[in-house]
Amino acid sequence: MNPTEEKAAPRSDFFKESIKLILLAVLIVIPFRLYIAQPFIVDGASMDPTFASGQYLIVDELTYHFNTPERGSVLIFKYPRDPKKYFIKRVIGLPGETVVISGGQVTIINTLNPDGFALDEPYVEFRKNDNLNYTLGVGEYFVMGDNRAQSADSRVWGPLPEANIIGRPFISFIPPDILPGDARNYQSENNQNN
């Protein structure tokens, strides 16, 4: 047997196995990325202090194909006025409910609570003293940012159609330049430049 033939066979096997591995990775990664989870980066201070500007999120796109969002869930969705843009907000009102905001306090009126109940929102640190009354239709959600003072949300552009929901944050990564204690400082510096 020729020594050059012996060396050629392992090299050929290496290339075949590499191609198989690449094809297998493409067959797994692309559908996973398109239909199950994808990365997003938070841009802006509307969800401060829950999510900081520049924070990386892996978004679960599968859950809401089987379940509907619950009150308090954080959603990634296509902005109703420009579906090319993606927003992140928290679910406040569910389909068929009436959302009443008086002096910044959110009250929900629904069939179980016809007199309404005040929403407990421990995640809101920066409040806004606003007033609003909105009744949601079928397949509509009322969403708001946790930083009420700096969030353009359903108070401004109306309800979120269920069809616009992409998914929910599943994993969150904080870039090295945003430390957990410094997130608010980073965003306020960022906002001063706008």
pLDDT at residue 192, rounded to an integer: 35
Min mean pLDDT across 10-14, 19-23, 156-160 is at 10-14
Q: What share of the chain is helix, strand, coil (3-state, %, to 5)?
A: 30, 30, 35
Alpha helices in the chain (DSSP H): 3-31, 154-157, 183-192
Which amino acid is residue 48, in one-letter code?
Answer: D
Share of the chain above pLDDT 70, in %: 75
Q: Which is more confidently placed, 1 or 172?
A: 172
- The residue annotated as part of the active site, out of 46, 53, 73, 154, is 46
Residue 160 predicted with pLDDT over 70 = yes
Residue percentage of the chain with pLDDT more than 90: 49
Which two tokens mark 48? Answer: 């401060």
Q: Exactly one of 53, 89, 151, 154 is catalytic; which is it?
A: 89
Question: Residue 89 catalytic?
Answer: yes
- Looking at residue 161, its pLDDT comes to 97
Domains of the chain: 42-192 (2.10.109.10)
More confident residue, 20 or 179: 20
Q: Give the span between the Cα atoms of 118 and 5, in whole angstroms.
A: 79
Q: What would the mean pLDDT of 57-77 be, rounded to a whole number?
A: 90
Q: Is the pLDDT of residue 55 over 80?
A: yes
* Interacting residues of 126 by C-beta distance below 8 A, sequence separation 6+: 48, 146, 147, 148, 149, 150
Model confidence at 157: pLDDT above 60: yes
The per-residue pLDDT for 35 is 57
Higher pLDDT, 60 or 174: 60
| Higher-pLDDT residue of 101, 173 | 101
Average pLDDT, the chain: 81
d(CA 45, CA 51): 8
